[in-house]
Chains A and B, each alone.
Chain A
Amino acid sequence: MTAPGAYRRERLDRGIKVRSDDIFALAGWAELVYLAGPRVAAAVLLLVFPLLRNWTGDYWQTVFLVAVAMMLAAVSWAFLENVGLVSLGHSLFFGAGGYLTAIAVLDLRLPPLLAVVCGTVVAAAGCGVLLGPVLRLRGVYFSLVTFALPLLFARVIEATKILGGTEGLAGIPGLGSLEARQYLLVVGLLVATFGLQRLLDSDYGLVLHAIRDNDLSVRASGIPVGWWKFGAVVVGALPATLAGAVLATHYHVVGMSAFALDYSVLPLTAAVLGGPGTMAGAAVGAALLVPLSELLRAFGTLRVVAYCAVLVLALVSVPEGLFSLVRRRYHQFERWVPL
């Protein structure tokens, strides 16, 4: 017999998690809210923020747009990292999306929305083709080449004066209103975050993990490793090229700065800080970093230095990432229950 009034501690998720981390048994609304709450709250926040324009002012709405774009880039980075491909030049995807959208709308005279869609898809496929040869090699070579490509593109554009040279391609018509662009990115972000995570958790994600582990056995299992990796790069590039495409229509211009280091370092830092293992973690990291970096705007390139410092610190001290850390804590919440 225990004394009345005696309590013991019990984990909140006890009884919800049955077998493993991803199979749940729900027994009521409270538990549903406990589990789905954070996701729904994040989605609602993203969907509602653009409606608060009168309250926040245009400046923070633009910051929001940029933040969502960077969240997309970070999700894209995290997906590729999960497949064992660490990109050091995410601005490659970003810039490709922007430039191709500009070409589609300026030279091919496509309507803006169609141009964004075409630019996004063609840029992702093009980057896949460009990176194809590297995919046969060890992962390090992917990093080497993604580091080199955006730098080289910027130099080549500067030297040969193609694609508007240093001036860039200007006069891109805006894509609807600010809200339209925001919602396009938000929807893209939600689809990318949950879709890519779902993909990684499926059997196809399993194959991608296996390729990272040991590609000989994957080939012996009858799976064409090259094509799978190519597919992963194209799918993984899509969020980043979308971000580049939409931001190009937002600024009405795309220039060499689209290939700048900032767009490579920020998604990387965001994903590593937030938690490289999960898509949501990467998005959370970017959501934290972009507003912070807006506050540091006055410091110029010192911001990049700050990102790098954060990056090294996060890598060395919180290798699992903030998101995973918080998520683990969330699932370890305890309550007092009577014995």
Chain B
Amino acid sequence: MVDRVSKQFGGVRAVDGVSLEVRPGEALGIIGPNGSGKTTLVNLITGFVRPDNGRVLFRGVDIAKSSVEARVRMGIARSFQTPRPFYRLPAFRNVIIPLCSRRARERLGSGFGRREEVALDLLEEVGFERDAAAVTKPASELPHGYLKRLELARCLALDPQLLLLDELFSGMSPAETASLIPLLLRLVQEGRSLVLVEHRLAELFQVVGRVVVLDFGRKIAEGHPAEVMTREEVRRAYLGGEVSASA
């Protein structure tokens, strides 16, 4: 749960008193035009940016001042909007990194050779075919869609209770997104919370049951996707901005 958080960069109020809540087993969409503060909100929840004021509650604990690592350990994971893989490492080794974290070690133990197995499973789950060349290629040689899925695999390695995906679908082909949607739905069914920051509304609405609309750092609407999109203020925020249901 996020309670009235704000963050100012210089003179810009990137996020201005936004409150929202995600329950276990729920998927929430965050939409809004470019520069409306969506990514900053993700950064505030995951600890990459500290809020100026307001609280960030996770399972009743205020984590606004916790480090990124501490939040990961509690079960919060995020993907980056532009993929940030370890370019020099092969894809499956990219997934080994989060498996070395404390959270993963508490879950898996530190058994030798086990991590490789788990990493390969995770890659298969996000759509790398097992033993395909892509698994052992350095990340620098992978196409964009694969890098996005690699981001997702890296998050899943942390067994997150709250997973924030920053524009996961952007730059993916329709076939690729279609293959990921069942996975996301399953994660929700398993009782995890999902937060999706997304421009591709058609795909987003297949996953989430509720959206929050941001504009200039403020929350301007919240509710069921179909209903929210008919509201006057939402339409106004999107006019001139990119209205991209399918772009």
Contact = CB atoms under 8 A, between A and B. Distances in A.
A221 B89 CA distance: 15
A177 interface: no
A213 B69 contact: no
Contact of B67 (A206, A216, A224): A224
B84 to A, nearest CB: 4
B101 to A, nearest CB: 3
Given A220-B78, A222-B104, 15 more contacts: A203-B96, A203-B115, A207-B100, A210-B97, A216-B48, A219-B68, A220-B46, A220-B77, A221-B97, A221-B98, A221-B158, A222-B77, A223-B69, A223-B100, A224-B69
Contacts of B158: 221-222
B80 A217 contact: yes
B209 to A, nearest CB: 26
Interface string A194-218: 0000000001101101100110111
Contact of A213 (B46, B68, B88, B100): B88
Nearest to B76: A222
A79 to B, nearest CB: 18
Interface string B67-81: 111001100011010
A223 B97 contact: yes
Contacts of B88: 209, 213
B97 A207 contact: yes
11 contacts: A206-B93, A206-B96, A209-B89, A213-B89, A214-B85, A216-B84, A217-B80, A221-B97, A222-B102, A222-B103, A223-B97
Interface residues of B, number: 31
Contacts of B102: 222-223
B80 A220 contact: yes
Contact of B89 (A210, A216, A219): A210
A218 B95 CA distance: 11
A178 to B, nearest CB: 40
A218 B68 CA distance: 10
A214 B87 CA distance: 8
B101 A223 contact: yes
B72 A221 contact: yes
A200 to B, nearest CB: 13
A250 to B, nearest CB: 39
Interface size class of A (residues with CB under 8 A): 10 to 19
B157 interface: yes
Nearest to B94: A210
Given A203-B115, A206-B96, A207-B97, A222 B73 contact: yes
Contacts of B94: 210
Q: At the interface, is chain A mostly helix, strand, loop or mixed?
A: helix
Contacts of B89: 206, 209-210, 213
Interface of B: 46, 48, 67-69, 72-73, 77-78, 80, 84-89, 93-94, 96-104, 115, 154, 157-158
Given A222-B69, A222-B73, A222-B158, A217 B100 contact: no
Nearest to B73: A222
Contacts of B73: 222
Nearest to B47: A219
A112 B26 CA distance: 64
Contacts of A222: 68-69, 72-73, 77, 98, 101-104, 158
Contacts of B84: 214, 216-217, 220
B67 A218 contact: no
A209 B69 CA distance: 18
Contacts of A207: 97, 100
A220 B42 CA distance: 12
Contacts of B77: 220, 222
Of A206, A217, A219, A222, most B-chain CB atoms within 10 Å: A222
Of B46, B72, B157, most A-chain CB atoms within 10 Å: B72
Contacts of A224: 67, 69
B97 A206 contact: yes
A12 B77 CA distance: 48
Of B46, B77, B97, B101, most A-chain CB atoms within 10 Å: B97
Contacts of B104: 222
A219 B84 CA distance: 11
